[in-house]
Chains A and B, each alone.
Chain A
Amino acid sequence: MNLDYINSFILSFYDFLKNQIDLESRKGRLEIKNMRSPMRGVAILIGISGELNGTILIDMGVETAHRLSSKMNGEPSAEITDLFIATIKEFGNLVCGGAVVRLDQLKRSFDLSPPTVILGEQMMLATESKSEILVIPFLSDLGQIDLNIFSARQKVNGRQTRTQHAHHFLPKDELETYQAFAVESCEALNDVEVRILRLAEDPCEIAPIFRALHTVKGNSGL
Chain B
Amino acid sequence: MELTPDLMTLDITMPIMDGIQTLEKILAHDAKAKIIMVSALGKEETVKNALEKGARSFIVKPFDRNTVLERLRKTMGRAAP
Chain A contact residues, CB within 8 Å of chain B: 16, 19-20, 93-94, 96-98, 100-101, 104-105, 109, 111-115
Instruction: Give CA–CA (A199, B43) in the complex, Å.
Output: 34
Judge whether B62 and A94 touch: CB under 8 Å.
yes
Cβ of B5 under 8 Å from chain A: no
Judge whether B13 and A101 touch: CB under 8 Å.
no
How many A-B residue pairs lie within 8 Å, measured between CB atoms? 41
Cβ of B77 under 8 Å from chain A: no
Judge whether B62 and A19 touch: CB under 8 Å.
yes
Question: Which residues of B lie under 8 Å from residue A111 when comparing CB positions?
Answer: 41
New A-B pairs, 14, CB < 8 Å, besides A101-B43, A104-B45, A113-B13: A93-B40, A94-B61, A96-B40, A97-B42, A98-B62, A100-B40, A101-B41, A101-B60, A104-B42, A105-B44, A112-B13, A112-B41, A114-B13, A115-B13
Instruction: Give CA–CA (A94, B60) in the complex, Å.
Output: 10
Interface size class of B (residues with CB under 8 A): 10 to 19
Judge whether A100 and B41 touch: CB under 8 Å.
yes
Question: Which residues of A lie under 8 Å from residue B15 when comparing CB positions?
Answer: 114
How would you classify the secondary structure of chain B's contact residues: helix, strand, loop or mixed?
loop
Contact with A along B29-40 (1 / 0, CB 8 A): 000000000011
21 contacts between A and B (CB under 8 A): A16-B62, A93-B40, A93-B61, A94-B40, A94-B61, A96-B40, A97-B13, A97-B42, A98-B40, A100-B41, A101-B40, A101-B41, A101-B42, A104-B43, A104-B44, A104-B45, A105-B44, A111-B41, A112-B13, A114-B14, A115-B13
Question: Shortest CB–CB separation between residue A55 and chain B, in angstroms?
Answer: 16
Question: Which residues of B lie under 8 Å from residue A101 when comparing CB positions?
Answer: 40-43, 60
Question: Which residues of B lie under 8 Å from residue A105 when comparing CB positions?
Answer: 44
Judge whether A100 and B13 touch: CB under 8 Å.
no
Instruction: Give CA–CA (A19, B14) in the complex, Å.
Output: 25
Question: Which residues of B lie under 8 Å from residue A20 when comparing CB positions?
Answer: 62
The residues in B between 1 and 45 inclusive whose CB is less than 8 angstroms from any CB of A are 13-15, 39-45
User: Are A100 and B62 CB-contacts (below 8 A) given A93-B13, A114-B13, A114-B15?
Assistant: no
Looking at A94, A104, A112, A113, which has the most chain B CB atoms within 10 Å of its CB?
A104
Judge whether B41 and A97 touch: CB under 8 Å.
yes
